Every structure is written in structure tokens, then in C-alpha cells.
Amino acid sequence: MDSAVANGHLEIVKWLHVQRREGCTKAAIDEAATNGHLAVVKWLHASRKEGCSRRAMDGAAMNGHLAVVEWLHRNRKEGCTTAAMDGAARSNHLQVVQWLHENRNEGCTLAAMNLAARNGHLDLIQWLHKHRKEGCTNDAMDQAAAQGHLRVIQWLHSYRKEGCTRNAMDRAASAGHLDIVQWLHKNRSEGCTTAAMDNAAGSGHLKIVQWLSDNRAEGCTGAAMDRAALNGHFEVLLFLQSERSEGCTSKAFVNATSADELEILQWLFEHYRDQIRHDRLQLFALGKFYTLQWLKQESILEDLPESERHYE
């Protein structure tokens, strides 16, 4: 019955109620409410005794089912938790947030504005700022930066005091949001870490790698080239080799071999052969026919016992 209820199959629920004895649990109304099946919620309330928990209103609020929230408020005593408003804020259900604010006492937590910021819901953030006192943390701007919500970042910068951390620029760079990286560079003082260029390189965001190299002092580590090798970003590798001095580690060879990026592997051998560890490459080349053949041809595996070379 719980499963039928969760999917809104009221006729099946009624049939099970008459023909079977297993019944249901509190999860029935909880799930029906969460999924917006108000008719099912009403029937269970009138015909069954299991009741529900606070998860019913929490779930309905999170998913924007205001009619269900209102009905539970009028007809049930379980109420909700702060998860109701937090979840509604996360999903941009402003009407639900407003109703909970006006009719319930549970309120919300810092997560409400943080989650709204992460998902780019500026109107909801502004409403919370005006009508609620919980505020947010620096995770709001950090997450907004990671998700590319420039208008949210600008508003938080102008109207809130929590600020951000270096995670903001690091995550924006990793996700390819050059406009946000540039804005943070110009308007905030937190800066970034080497993770910004390392992760941008791994994700193939060449323009961001170039911009960070030209405009920031944090630089990168060998992980930048290692990760670019893993994901086949040859242009990034060429830039790092030409304009940066960090180089790569043995992980670059492992990554290129594991990803079957033979052209990159050959290039790495040409420029960074001193970083290679033969035994690790052999292990990661299993099943990579052309890569294995090339390794054999170049005698890369010559230092290994014959029994460990696994050419095919």
C-alpha cells in the first residue's frame, strides 16, 4: 500500500484497504504528501489510522505542493521542521516559503539562503534577506560561484557581509566560469589557490588557465598537467608546457595510459620522460592494444620481466 500511495494510485490503495490486511505505515501519507497526491492524503487521513510524520509537510514544502502543506496544517497536528522552508527555498518555491513564514513557527536555517544561492534563486534570496533573520554563511557565495550565478554573487557582495572564501574562485575556475573568476579577482580579496588552475586544466578550460597564469600569482602544481592528460586536453598541456614551469608527475603518464590517450602519452615521453615509472604504466595499459604495442615498440617495458608485460 505504501508504494501505491507514493505513486498516487488511489483506486489500488482503496482495493488493498478492502481486500488485504497488511495495511500501510506512516510513510504512506508522508510519501503521498511529498509527491503532491492530495486526494490520496485526504483518503488515508479519513480511512486509515497510521497517520503521518513531520516528513509529510516537509516533503510537500520541498516539492512546492502548497495545497498539500495547507491541508496538513489545517487537518493534522504533526507540523513540520525547518527542513520545510529550507527545502522550499532550495527549489525556488517562494509562495511556499512565504506561507510557512506567515503560518508556521518552525522557520528555517542558514541553509535556506545558502541553498537558494547555490541554485541561483535571487528573488528568493532577496525575500529571505528582507523577512528572515537567519542569513547565510560564506558558503552562499562560494556555491553561487561554483554554479555560475554572477548576479547572485554581486547581490550577496553588495547586501550581505558573509563574503566568500578562496573556494569561490577555485570552484568557478574548475567549472569554467571565467566571468565569475574575473569579477571575484576585481571585487573580492580572497583570491584562490593552486586548485583553481589545476582543476581548470583538468576540465579543459584553456581560457581560464591562460587568464589565471597571466593575472594571478598562485600558479598551479603538477596536478594541472596530470589532470589535463587524463581528460585528453592536449591544448592545455601545450600551454602549460610552454608557459609554466611546474611540469607533470608520473601520474600524467598513468592517466594518459589509463585513458588510452596515445598521442598525449607519446608527447609526454618526448618532453617529460624523466618522470616515468615503467611498472605503473604497464599495469594501467592492460586492454589498451595500440598503447601497449607502442610501449613495446619503444621498449618502455623492457625493464619488466616478460611474465609481467601483458602485451595483449
Q: pLDDT (tens digit, 9 = 90+) per residue, 150-198? A: 999 999 999 999 999 999 999 999 999 999 999 999 999 999 999 999 9
Directed axis angle between helix 222-230 and helix 250-258, to 10°? 10
Write out the DSSP string of 46-80: HH-S----THHHHHHHHTT-HHHHHHHHHH-S---
> Per-residue pLDDT tens for 86-99?
999 999 999 999 99
Boundaries of every domain in the chain: 194-312
Instruction: Find out whether 182 and 208 touch, Cβ atoms under 8 Å.
Output: no
> Per-residue pLDDT tens for 114-146?
999 999 999 999 999 999 999 999 999 999 999
Q: Which CATH superfamily is domain 194-312 in?
A: Ankyrin repeat-containing domain (1.25.40.20)
DSSP at 135: -
Q: Pick the closest to residue 64 from 154, 132, 124, 152 (CA basis).
A: 124
**Other CB atoms closer than 10 Å to residue 217's CB: what's the count?**
7
Q: Pick the closest to residue 224 from 242, 244, 207 (CA basis).
A: 244
Instruction: Find out whether 73 and 106 touch, Cβ atoms under 8 Å.
Output: no
> Per-residue pLDDT tens for 242-281?
999 999 999 999 899 889 999 999 999 899 988 876 656 6
Instruction: Find out whether 43 and 13 touch, Cβ atoms under 8 Å.
Output: yes
